[in-house]
Structure 1
């Protein structure tokens, strides 16, 4: 049985009830780091393209492969996904960080963020929404469901196609060809206005029973 040790170094304790939702959310965004960015591409009913970053993003199922991003409030991305049932997720590398930030601007649905950020569109293989042509890896997804949670909406999407730039792929000793983390060079969201790069990468084999 593990022993209880004194608090060293000292901690500052924060009560969520005392802070309130807004300040607690700011604190969490600075603690839950790094967060991968889902750069979500969608199209509206009239075919207008939309591109926006979402940093509440992860994989939630392997069989079938399901990813999730959360939209705070009902934004263009959510409305388009609900209307068409499709979206893309383009990986954001260091070279695309500034353009990604540009697409977070609070503009109207008539604005094409690809054009706003000077990004070239690339046709997807399976779904209608376009991909970011310069992205090193893109997921093409179909909508599974939208789950309202608090002031957010969790968008669950089934990954139906993955496109990875060839120069990021490496074949390992077991014969598996997968992206190399350093070659992908992803960026992540931190707290405040801070972003982060991958940094050091280390491997640890999983324990066996």
Structure 2
């Protein structure tokens, strides 16, 4: 049995295992545009959704190797806009190209050979990855700074509200997102990735109300709230 205290005792393994234990992690392929109009695209493996009604997402960006905030963080905080582009099997090489820490003036879209399309709802327009089958337009909500050991340990956790969702018809089956068609990739440990090619269904036990949250049903959540309020009104009338 391996046991160690991070930063205190050694794990005596060839590589640090921490990130290999929290897997798979969705890739936050985040596009932004600076105040002076420069486009930026970078992947973040510390990414996920937070809630669904309304939808919020987060991504966490470590400091650079020079202990400065990354361009993505600066752009989001200064403009209030960013886009999440889903990364799938077909886009894996392009995503890897955009992971390189490049000078501010370099356009990662061009370097990776990607096509730009503009966001539709954001006040500060952002370029999106046209080839990506699912995209979220997001407005900046807040930043949580978690201190860490320099130069790269400190992170900026960006939280954004999703205000526009694009889904390519080609990844739908009977009106539902079909991950077997999307084939999203995710970060695993070390330099490994995973790809979703198979899924299975497993419903939660109970009266089914938990499924509303698991599904992320905004309509179902609204109906449940109406039901609760109607019951309260009935009790008050009694």
TM-superposed deviation, 1:201: 1.3
| Partner secondary structure for residue 83 of structure 1 | helix
Q: Which moved more, 1:25-34 or 1:128-137?
A: 25-34
TM-superposed deviation, 1:117: 0.5
Q: 1:136 pairs with 121, 133, 136, which one?
A: 133
Q: 2:73 pairs with 78, 86, 95, which one?
A: 78
Partner of 1:115: 110
Partner of 1:93: 88
The question of whether the paired residues in 1 share the 8 Å contact of 2:87 and 2:95 is answered with yes
Aligned ranges for residues 121-160 of structure 1 at < 5 Å? 121-127=116-122, 128-150=125-147, 151-160=154-163
Instruction: State whether structure 2 residue 101 is matched by structure 1 residue 106.
Output: yes
| Partner secondary structure for residue 9 of structure 2 | helix
Q: 2:187 pairs with 189, 193, 197, which one?
A: 189
1:40-70 per-residue CA deviation (whole Å, 9 max, x = no partner) reads 0000111010000000001112222110000
Q: Size of the alignment, in residue pairs?
A: 191
RMSD after superposition: 1.6
Q: 1:27 pairs with 5, 10, 17, which one?
A: 17
TM-score normalised by length of structure 2? 0.77
The question of whether the paired residues in 1 share the 8 Å contact of 2:179 and 2:197 is answered with no
Distance 2:33 2:24 in 1: 28
Partner of 1:4: none
Partner of 1:206: 204
Q: Which has the larger radius of gyration?
A: 2
Distance 2:84 2:198 in 1: 25
Where do 5+ consecutive residues of structure 1 fail to align?
Answer: 1-10, 172-176
Distance 1:199 1:28 in 2: 26
TM-score normalised by length of structure 1? 0.87
TM-superposed deviation, 1:199: 4.3
TM-superposed deviation, 1:30: 0.7
Distance 2:10 2:48 in 1: 27
TM-superposed deviation, 1:190: 0.9
Distance 2:203 2:136 in 1: 27
